[in-house]
Every structure is written in structure tokens, then in C-alpha cells.
Amino acid sequence: MATKIVMEALSPTMEEGRLVEWKKNEGDAVAVGDVIAEVETDKAVMELVARVAGTLIKQEVEAGATVPVSDVVGWIGEAGEKTGGKTEKVEEVERVERVEEGKKEEKAGTGEKPEKAEKKPAEEKAEEQPAETKAEKAEQEAPAERPASAAGERVKASPLARRIATERGVDLSGITGSGPAGRIVQRDVEAAKAGPRAEPATAPAAASGPTGRTITFSGEPFRDEPLSQIRKTIAKRLVQSIGPIPTFYLTTVVDMERATEAREALNALGEGKVSFNDIIMKATALALVQHPACNAWWQDDHIRYWNEVHLAMAVALDEGLITPVIRHADQKSLREIAAEAKDLAGRARERKLKPEEYTGGTFSVSNLGMLDIDEFTAVINPPEAGIIAIGRISENVVPASEGLEVRKQMKLTMSCDHRVIDGATGAVFLRTLKRMLENPLAMVY
């Protein structure tokens, strides 16, 4: 009776493997322990080894083919014997594999039960059982935002695809599977979840105000997002056009009357001076919480969206400049920021900063107002995606409800890495920042 040779799982999460090379030709004699073929996943190659002796009567797939785990790749039997074909079942088939000594041991981390290792390949249905259990378990641990597929309706999906879908709140019922028999596999879920990301860029109306996504304090410091096709294309085209960091600039005029009053009131308390720069940094950090799309790093093949705000501030030195970082700036009070900024700037000028104090920023602020600069464009500090340039506060005549009046105004210019931040994305962030500064109470709201 012919014995199946199947694609083996090189790890519990593997869905498919590439048969890189046949080590035996059809018609070759095979002894127990002989290497029949080599399978590759990622950067690891494993040998498929014969557990029965006989003749390799059929190679079902060609070298180089990608085959789902547990699918038949070939048959061992007596020369001239008929095989069951790729899909047809053969009674009492034996899986060609090395006896798994470690299979009694529960696989750490995956929560999989040892039965998985013992399952018979003929019982293909059995494979879906652990998948469901796993998905359900994951749902219990982290309630999905959206309900899973309609009750009772079975969606064919691989275990990995289910897990990713649950993790990311993707509804499997809306996805067309590209795997065998329409099964939803990892790449389908990955492709599906790329959709919602593009929303803020294509629909600026939806991004009006801080109602959209805000930073969620999940305990993870950041979230890596693979590049969608549109982000890849934007990145490639813009780099060709303008240089390694395709920067664009947004400028807004901020009315600083109320911020000035607030600052004077705070300083009148006599508990340490608060500078305009401190107020702007505090507001920037809070605005970033509302617009995490601007609190990100360009990482060449993905974008790292930070769930923490670490604000870097440019400090001029006698020779050059340095950007000390106020960590978790969004969670610090104005007074804490003022004290920390003063301390960091002081030690920066004395060259006493430790490397961890001037690296790891998620966004930067640069201020040349004290040097009477009205407005300027700052250079992005990679891998950060944005920097705010602060000009001086000047008194300008502006139209008022009745006639004209003189008001304190300041210009903010944001430099954006267009690979990460689109025009509308940067604009809504800057608008939030402007509103906060014009109404400092918004910062405590």
C-alpha cells in the first residue's frame, strides 16, 4: 500500500512550506531515514525523511513549489504501484516523518495540546478544531472590538489567520480566502487589515478633530504597522522627487494672548518659571496623543506608531545642537516639563547628557523665537516623522469684531515626512495644537 509523504510543519504557526529540492527521483529506492526532499521556510531548511522503505513512486509537486502543511508531496510504495493522487484518500496512510519524541510535551507558548502532533493527516477536518479553540481562547483574553463572523456561519481560515484576525479585530467573514479551497490564510488577513489605515489620508473630512483614533495605552510602547501598497508607492515616488526624506511644510498662525495670560498667572505663583516653550511642548505632546499618526517612526519597511510620547527638544550648543528627550511628555504636568526641560537644557550645554537622554524621541520641537526668528522650517530628525518649528511671538494688528486690534501671535511650522504623514494628517494635528495653545484650558479638558 502506498504511503503518503506530506509537507511537514516546521513550526506550529507554519502554514505552507517551499519544497526546495527533491533528494530522490521517481523510481529511486528509499530506505528508512533517507532524506527524500528538503523544505524551506523563512531562513531554515529541514529534511523530509522516509519512515518506510520502498520506492519513491511519485513526486506530486515540483521542486520550488509552495505547499500547504499536511498536503501530499509524494508517495512511497512498491515499484509500479498506484497512488492515491494529491487529494484522494488512501486507507491507513502513514505520515512520513520522524517519530516525534517531544510530542507529549505541551508546546510552550502556543497553548496547543499534544493531540495536534498525533492527528492523522487523513482527517483534514480535525485541523480546524484546534484553530477554533485557539481563536475562541484569544477572543476571551482580548475581546475583539468587532463581533466575529455571524453565529453559525463557518468561515474557513487557517489557525494563524484566525489568530491575526482576532488580534487585530478583523472580521473574517468579509474576507475572500486565497488559500486551498478558498481557505483564508495569513496574507488575506494582512491585506484586509491594510484597508482601514488609508482612511485618514483619503478622507480628511473623517479626520476632523480629535474624535478618531487616539493613542490607546495598551501597555505596549508601540505598534508596528506593515507598509500598505499605497504607503510604499507614496514613499518611493516622493523619495525620487525630493530626497531621502520627502518633507513638506505646514504653517499656522497661533494667537498667543491666552497662553500669555496663563503663563503670567502660573509664574505669579512663584513656584518656578514656565516658559512659552514649555507650554508649547506640553500642548504638542497632548496633540500627539490625539493624532498618533504623527507620533511615528519611518522604519524603511514598516512604520512604527508609538503609543508613548517622547518629545525631543532642540537645544543649541556653542558648537552644534543636541535634542534631549522628555520622556512620556504627555503624562507630565506643565511644571514637571518645565523643570525637566530646564535641567536637560542645562546639562546639554555642559555636555553632561547620557546617550539615553538624547535619543529615542518620537517627535521633535525646535524653537528660534528667542532669537527673533519669525518663522522657519526645521529639519526632521529621523526616524521621527515630524518636527515643529516655533517662531517668535510678535504683536500684530489683526481684524477684530470691531475694527482692528493688536494681538500676540506666533507662527508654528511643522515639517512632515510624507512617507508617514500626509498633508491632511499633519494639518489636523497642527490644528489641534493651535486650538490648544489658543485656549490653554483645552489642555486640562
Partner 1 sequence: MTSLSTHRKLLVHDLGRRPYAEVLELQRNLCRARVERRLDDDILLLVEHDPVYTLGRGTRDSSLPVAPELLRKRGAEVFEIERGGDVTFHGPGQLVGYPIIDLAQQRQDLHWYLRELEGALIDALEVLDIAADRNPGKTGVWTGGRKIASIGVHVKQWVTLHGFALNVTTDLAWFDWIVPCGIADVQMTSVGRELDTTGNSLKDIDLRAREAVVEALGRRFGRSPDSAALPTL
Q: Does 343 bind partner 1 (CB under 8 A)?
A: no
How many of the chain's residues bind partner 1 (CB under 8 A)? 33
Dihedral of CA atoms 72, 165, 302, 383 in degrees, nearest 10, equals -150
Nearest-approach distance from CB 438 to partner 1, in angstroms: 39
Give the one residue of 6, 37, 49, 296 binding partner 1; rule: CB under 8 A.
49
Query: Is the distance from CB of 324 to CB of 441 less than 8 angstroms?
Result: no
418 is catalytic: yes
CB of 135 to partner 1, least distance (A): 20
Kind plus residue range of the DSSP H or E element containing 72: strand 72-77
Q: Which of 119, 207, 210, 206 is nearest to 432 (CA)?
A: 210
Residue whose CB is less far from partner 1, 104 or 154: 104
Minimum CB distance to partner 1 smaller for 40 or for 139: 40
d(CA 25, CA 55): 9
Regarding 299 and contact with partner 1 (CB under 8 A), the answer is yes
Give 44 or 379: the residue with its C-beta nearer to partner 1.
44
Between CA 348 and CA 319 the distance in angstroms is: 12
Q: Tell me the CA distances in angstroms from 142 to 148, 166, 229, 411, one per residue in order.
A: 13, 8, 29, 44
Catalytic residue among 291, 302, 310, 418: 418
State yes or no: residue 40 binds partner 1 (CB under 8 A).
yes
CB of 77 to partner 1, least distance (A): 23
Among positions 195, 226, 272, 423, the unique one binding partner 1 when judged by CB under 8 A = 226
CB of 198 to partner 1, least distance (A): 20
Measured from the CB atom, is 35 or 198 closer to partner 1?
A: 35
CB of 108 to partner 1, least distance (A): 5
Residues 89-118 that bind partner 1 (CB under 8 A): 98, 100-103, 105, 107-109
Residue whose grid cell is 519597511: 301
Output 21 or 220, the one with its CB closest to partner 1.
Answer: 21
d(CA 33, CA 46): 13
Question: What's the min distance (Å) between Cβ of 18 and partner 1?
Answer: 8
Q: Which is nearer to partner 1, 15 or 340 (CB)?
A: 15
Side chain identity at residue 10, one-letter code: L
Cβ distance 425 to 291 under 8 Å?
A: yes
300 binds partner 1 (CB under 8 A): yes
- The minimum distance between CB 43 and partner 1, in angstroms, equals 4
Nearest CB to partner 1, comparing residues 111 and 174 = 111
- The cell for 47 is 529534511
Q: Which secondary-structure segment (H or E) carries 283?
A: helix 276-290
Main-chain dihedrals φ then ψ at residue 160, nearest 5 degrees: -65, -45
Residue 359, C-alpha cell as written in the block:
535619543
32 sits near partner 1 (criterion: CB under 8 A): no
> Which residues neighbour 241 within 8 Å (Cβ) at sequence distance 6 or greater?
none
Pick between residue 101 and residue 402 the one whose CB is nearest to partner 1. 101
Going by the DSSP 8-state scheme, the letter that residue 154 receives in this structure is: -
Kindly tell me which residue out of 43, 104, 351, 354 binds partner 1, with binding defined by CB under 8 A: 43
Does residue 243 belong to the site contacting partner 1 (CB under 8 A)? no
User: Minimum distance from CB of 140 to partner 1 (Å)?
Assistant: 24
Q: Is 82 in the site for partner 1 (CB under 8 A)?
A: no
Q: Rounded distance, CA 73 to CA 70, Å? A: 9
70 near partner 1, rule: CB under 8 A: no
Binding of residue 62 to partner 1 (CB under 8 A): no
Q: Which of 78, 115, 132, 224 binds partner 1 (CB under 8 A)?
A: 224
CA–CA separation, 253 vs 396, rounded Å? 11
Sheet strands (E) in 238-385: 247-255, 296-298, 302-306, 311-313, 315-316, 321-322, 325-326, 363-367
> Catalytic amino acids?
418
Residues that bind partner 1 (CB under 8 A): 10-14, 20-21, 35, 38, 40-47, 49, 98, 100-103, 105, 107-109, 224, 226, 299-302
